[in-house]
């Protein structure tokens, strides 16, 4: 007696038959097929890399800078380029250093003028538009809110000496008229010379000076944004 031969169905046919018997949908069968790779290993998913984060200092943040060189109304003019150094690191909300200490700020002299006489202010306005560190340059927008300036007299010039001398001569003449003797002339000359010095001091030019290393306070008008380094 011959043993009955059982026909072997290919694997896809068996899957379809199983689906028909168990009520599994064609989608389930397809998912089952896709669950294995061509080499027989399990399927793996590829993670999508997260976008690079940006670090920022908020608008209104005040940075303390130091003047890179002396700026004076006796020598410097509006439009000249200037530099200042970050005196301390600027740190973000998460503790990241966004602008390191020693970073170089680039800017220009907006306006500069000496004080016409003692007791009157001079003019010095600065603006910064860029900061440089780690071999890169970043734009900055803000305003200088304070400068540690000082006023310096230009000393005795030929014009100042002439004013003092004229005062002494006038004083000497007045002394003769008032005193009528040698003593009166001497007293008048001393008083007149002092008066000439007062006039010269009251009218002499006073230069506005920002010494090298002097403090500059710079407030951001817009957020300062720096991209995080790759891998952060």
Q: Could you tell me where the beta strands, DSSP code E, fall in the chain?
A: 54-57, 62-67, 71-72, 81-86, 90-91, 97-99, 104-113, 123-133, 136-139, 142-147, 150-153, 206-210, 215-220, 224-227
Q: Where are the alpha helices (DSSP H) in the chain?
A: 11-22, 26-34, 158-179, 182-203
110 token code pair? 């907006």
Domain 54-150+206-227 = CATH 3.40.50.2300: no
Parts of the chain with a pLDDT under 70: 1-54, 155-203, 228-232
* CA-closest candidate to residue 140, choices 55, 225, 227: 225
Q: 121 by DSSP, 3-state: which?
A: coil
Task: Decide if 128 contacts 142 (C-beta within 8 A).
Answer: yes
Q: 188 by DSSP, 3-state: which?
A: helix
* CA-closest candidate to residue 71, choices 147, 132, 145: 147
Domain residues of the chain, as ranges?
Answer: 54-150+206-227, 158-203
126 token code pair? 């600065």
Q: What is the pLDDT of residue 8?
A: 54
* CA-closest candidate to residue 79, choices 53, 49, 50, 111: 111
d(CA 67, CA 70) in angstroms, rounded, equals 7
d(CA 200, CA 157) in angstroms, rounded, equals 10
Q: What is the pLDDT of residue 78?
A: 98
Q: What is the pLDDT of residue 38?
A: 47
Main-chain phi, psi angles of 152, to 5 degrees: -130, 130
Q: What is the pLDDT of residue 74?
A: 95
The string of pLDDT tens digits covering residues 63-77 is 999 999 999 999 999
Residue 203: count of CB within 10 angstroms of its CB: 13
Q: What is the pLDDT of residue 198?
A: 42
Which long-range contacts (C-beta less than 8 Å, at least 24 apart) are formed by 45-52?
52/227, 52/228, 52/230, 52/232
- Residues whose CB is less than 8 angstroms from the CB of residue 129 and which lie 6 or more positions away in sequence, other chains included: 106, 107, 108, 139, 140, 141
Main-chain phi, psi angles of 123, to 5 degrees: -125, 130
Give the predicted TM-score (pTM) of the model.
Answer: 0.59
């Amino acid at each position: 007696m011959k043993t009955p031969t059982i026909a072997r169905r290919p694997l896809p046919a068996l899957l379809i038959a199983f689906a028909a018997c168990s009520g599994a949908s064609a989608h389930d069968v397809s998912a089952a097929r896709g669950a294995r790779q061509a080499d027989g290993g399990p399927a793996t998913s590829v993670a999508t890399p997260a976008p690079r984060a940006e670090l920022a200092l908020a608008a209104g943040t005040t940075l303390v800078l130091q003047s890179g060189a002396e700026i004076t109304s006796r020598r410097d003019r509006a439009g000249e380029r200037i530099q200042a150094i970050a005196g301390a690191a600027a740190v973000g909300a998460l503790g990241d250093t966004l602008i390191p200490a020693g970073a170089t700020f680039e800017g220009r002299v907006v306006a500069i003028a000496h004080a016409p006489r003692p007791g009157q202010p001079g003019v010095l306005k600065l603006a910064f538009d860029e900061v440089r560190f780690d071999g890169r340059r970043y734009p900055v927008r803000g305003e200088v809110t304070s400068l540690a300036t000082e006023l310096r007299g230009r000393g005795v010039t030929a014009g100042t000496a002439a004013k003092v001398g004229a005062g002494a001569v006038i004083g000497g003449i007045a002394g003769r008229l008032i005193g009528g003797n040698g003593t009166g002339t001497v007293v008048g000359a001393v008083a007149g010379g002092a008066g000439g010095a007062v006039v010269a001091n009251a009218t002499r030019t006073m230069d506005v000076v920002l010494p090298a290393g002097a403090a500059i306070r710079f407030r951001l008008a817009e957020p300062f944004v720096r991209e995080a380094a790759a891998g952060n």
